[in-house]
Amino acid sequence: MRELALNVMDVAQNSISAKADLIRLTVEEDTAADRLTIRLEDNGCGMTPEQVKSVVDPFYTTRTTRKVGLGVPLFKMEAEMTGGSFSVWSQKGEGTALTAVFVPSHVDMIPLGDMAGTVRLLITCNPDLDFVYTRSRDGRSFTLDTRELRAVLGGEVALSEPEVSEWIASYLQEQTAVVEGGNEE
Amino acid sequence: MKSLAELQAIRDRARAQVGLRAESGASTRVQVGMATCGIAAGARPVLNAFVEEVAKRGLKDVMVTQTGCIGICQYEPVVEIVEDGRKTTYVKMTPEKAVRVVNDHLVNGNVVTEYTIGANTQ
């Protein structure tokens, strides 16, 4: 993948297939420690210990159209390529959490990319699910919680409503700029 | 800066015209293939283009959504348009093609034949 944000879009689909209704995405950057952590947690159906083991195997997939599943293995490879790490936690009936740790200064580091765009599309295309997105860098951070937006919008306006979607896009862009700003590259 | 007050304004405007859209559930669905294959082939900008263009034109009866892999990865990004049981499959999509599909197909009802799977498999 050309952006880590695309990997997130991809693996988030697994949470949606697992019937999660709350997905937490955390992107945490610590420039002094040279670490970038992406954590994706859901309250979906979870996996058995055997499934957890096989999820990083490219020849394991739950889909029926083909015999390979590359989403999680790719994400894992990209983290480990930079000298980082990758772990999966899951409990049947409780949910699943993926944690990928990257070393941004490594030559094989893939750019984070447009994470705000990914989050906006995930929310717009899955208006019945709740997302909590937290982005932080060196102590600055912001959180977008769709449950809060839902409370403001009331029951009659969906999160996929074009005007709402535009608002989410602008909000994410502004907040991301604040968090990423102050550290000229 | 975007504030929650703006969201409240959106809600209030929607309430004012709720009668208009109450019974008009989405009759057309745009499904963009967003599995690993689709995303790697560039499906996100395509999905984004559909969301933006549908919003810009205020198409209330169109729902843009994502779907998984339908098994024709070599033709990704793949977009299916489903309306009253009729399905059109567009292949090798780009954001530019997406804009044209919204204008020609969704607004004017003319299928863009040259982008369909039928025109790209010979």
Query: What pLDDT digit, counting tens, does each position of B82-102 carry?
Result: 998 899 999 999 999 999 999
Q: What's the rounded mean pLDDT across residues B42-68?
A: 90
Contact A156 B54 (CB under 8 A): no
DSSP A7-27: HHHHHHHHHHHTT-SEEEEEE
B110 to chain A nearest CA, in Å? 24
* Chains A, B: CB pairs < 8 Å: 89
Q: What is the CATH number of domain A4-180?
A: 3.30.565
In the chain, the amino acid numbered B63 is M
B46 to chain A nearest CA, in Å? 11
Contact B8 A152 (CB under 8 A): yes
Residue pair A76/A100 in contact (Cβ under 8 Å)? The answer is yes
CATH number at residue B84: 3.40.30.10
- Going by C-alpha positions, the residue among B47, B42, B43, B57 that lies closest to residue B104 is B57
Contact B51 A163 (CB under 8 A): no
Residue pair A146/A159 in contact (Cβ under 8 Å)? The answer is yes
- Going by C-alpha positions, the residue among A146, A123, A147, A133 that lies closest to residue A175 is A133
DSSP A128-173: TSEEEEEEEETTEEEEEEHHHHHHHH-TTS-TTSHHHHHHHHHHHH
Collect all residues with Cβ–Cβ distance below 8 Å to A179 and sequence separation of at least 6.
A135, A136, A137, A140, A141, A142
ipTM above 0.95, yes or no: no
| Average pLDDT along chain B | 88
First to last CA, chain A: 23
Is residue B4 included in any domain, yes or no? no
In B, minimum Cα distance to A123 occurs at B65
Length of chain A: 185
- Going by C-alpha positions, the residue among A59, A77, A79, A78 that lies closest to residue A69 is A59
Contact B63 A160 (CB under 8 A): yes
Is residue B33 included in any domain, yes or no? yes
pLDDT of residue B19: 55
Model confidence at A87: pLDDT above 70: yes
Tally of structural domains, chain B: 1
Residue B23: which pLDDT band, with cuts at 50, 70 and 90? very low
Q: What's the rounded mean pLDDT across residues A34-56?
A: 89
Model confidence at A131: pLDDT above 80: yes
Show which of residues 56-115 on chain A sit within 8 Å of chain B, judged by CB atoms.
63, 65-66, 69-71, 74
User: For A63, which of B6, B8, B69 is closest by C-beta distance?
Assistant: B69
B14 to chain A nearest CA, in Å? 7
In B, minimum Cα distance to A126 occurs at B65
Task: Give the range of the structural domain holding residue B44, as residue numbers without chain letter.
Answer: 23-120
